[in-house]
């Protein structure tokens, strides 16, 4: 009888520990990437299809703005560009090279203040913060007080199958003086501006457009509550040139 009591005393703590480990494991899996948001690239790399708010779960929604031309639905902000760098030597180096590639693009794209910040996304199961060097900053071709600002946020870099990957969410917006806010106008326009600016660089020539990607993040017009605006479902993929002028 004494031996049975001792066994029970041992089993109960073990069962409790095992139960806690199982619960924590499932909690970690749920937190790692919200269900249905992952997209697998042709080479097997898993990326988040969306730009997320700071909670790492909720899809960014143009700060809650809705637009009559898209049925006043909640706008969802997607990943629409992937930067591939087979020549970088580390994650930090890949990010530095990406910033320099943007700075040397045609037109030049720098880091611009006065934008909302704190957005995240996942690559290969890891959550990343924005890789601009200052808070509330985005990559943009114009200052914050202009119209038709083509701007972007980027995350990474992750090494996979011989290259470093950075995911990018671009959008076009304008500053509305009387509301003291930025208003979204397009996803496709900004994506194409960034793509063409990188491909036509004379400072860092040699960027190559790879095959377009489909991350499954186009919301059909039939959806009654959500929209991706003018997005056509194409995520462009740009490979970095071997040599990038590093000004730092």
Q: Looking at the structure, do residues 212 and 138 belong to the same domain, yes or no?
A: yes
Q: Looking at the structure, do residues 216 and 101 belong to the same domain, yes or no?
A: yes
Q: Looking at the structure, do residues 28 and 38 belong to the same domain, yes or no?
A: no
Q: Looking at the structure, do residues 106 and 207 belong to the same domain, yes or no?
A: yes
pTM listed for this prediction: 0.84
In contact, 184 and 71? CB cutoff 8 Å: no
Is residue 170 a part of any domain in this protein?
Answer: yes
Is residue 248 a part of any domain in this protein?
Answer: no
Q: What is the DSSP string of 96-120?
A: HHHHHHHHTSSS--EEEESS----E
Give the other-Cβ count within 10 Å of 150's Cβ.
24
Q: Which two tokens stand for residue 131?
A: 């890789």
Is residue 181 a part of any domain in this protein?
Answer: yes
Q: Looking at the structure, do residues 97 and 11 belong to the same domain, yes or no?
A: no
Is residue 16 a part of any domain in this protein?
Answer: yes
| Pairing, β 110-113 against β 181-186 | unpaired
Q: Looking at the structure, do residues 20 and 92 belong to the same domain, yes or no?
A: no
Instruction: For 165, list phi and psi in degrees, rounded to 5.
Output: -115, 135
Q: Looking at the structure, do residues 5 and 47 belong to the same domain, yes or no?
A: no
Task: Kindly tell me the sign of the dihedral angle through the C-alpha atoms of 101, 169, 63, 150.
Answer: positive
Q: Looking at the structure, do residues 215 and 134 belong to the same domain, yes or no?
A: yes
Tens digit of pLDDT at every position of the chain (248 positions): 444 545 444 454 444 444 444 333 433 333 467 777 999 999 999 999 999 999 999 999 998 999 999 999 999 999 999 999 999 999 999 999 999 999 999 999 998 865 677 899 999 999 999 987 777 678 998 866 666 689 899 999 999 999 999 999 999 987 766 666 668 899 999 999 999 999 999 999 999 999 999 999 999 999 999 999 999 999 999 999 999 988 75
Q: Looking at the structure, do residues 25 and 46 belong to the same domain, yes or no?
A: no
Is residue 28 a part of any domain in this protein?
Answer: yes
Q: Looking at the structure, do residues 38 and 119 belong to the same domain, yes or no?
A: yes
How many domains in the chain? 2
Domain range enclosing 196: 34-239
Is residue 245 a part of any domain in this protein?
Answer: no
């Amino acid at each position: 009888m004494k031996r049975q009591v001792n066994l029970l005393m041992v089993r109960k703590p073990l069962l409790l520990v095992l139960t806690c480990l199982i619960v924590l494991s499932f909690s970690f899996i749920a937190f790692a990437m919200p269900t249905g948001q992952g997209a697998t690239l042709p080479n097997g790399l898993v990326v988040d299809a969306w730009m997320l708010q700071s909670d790492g779960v909720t899809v960014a929604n143009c700060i809650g703005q809705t637009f009559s031309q898209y049925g006043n639905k909640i706008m969802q902000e997607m990943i629409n560009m992937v930067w591939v760098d087979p020549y970088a030597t580390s994650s930090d180096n890949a990010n530095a090279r990406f910033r320099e590639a943007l700075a040397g693009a045609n037109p030049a794209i720098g880091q611009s203040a006065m934008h909302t910040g704190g957005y995240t996304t996942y690559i290969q199961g890891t959550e990343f913060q924005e890789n601009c060097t200052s808070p509330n900053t985005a990559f943009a071709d114009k200052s914050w007080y202009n119209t038709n600002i083509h701007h972007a946020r980027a995350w990474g870099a992750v090494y996979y199958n011989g290259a470093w990957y950075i995911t990018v969410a671009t959008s076009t917006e304008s500053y509305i003086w009387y509301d003291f806010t930025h208003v979204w106008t397009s996803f496709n326009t900004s994506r194409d501006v960034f793509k063409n600016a990188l491909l036509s660089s004379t400072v860092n020539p040699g960027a190559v457009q790879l095959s377009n990607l489909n991350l499954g993040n186009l919301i059909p017009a039939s959806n009654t509550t959500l929209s991706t605006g003018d997005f056509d479902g194409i995520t462009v993929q740009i490979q970095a040139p071997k040599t990038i002028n590093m000004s730092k």
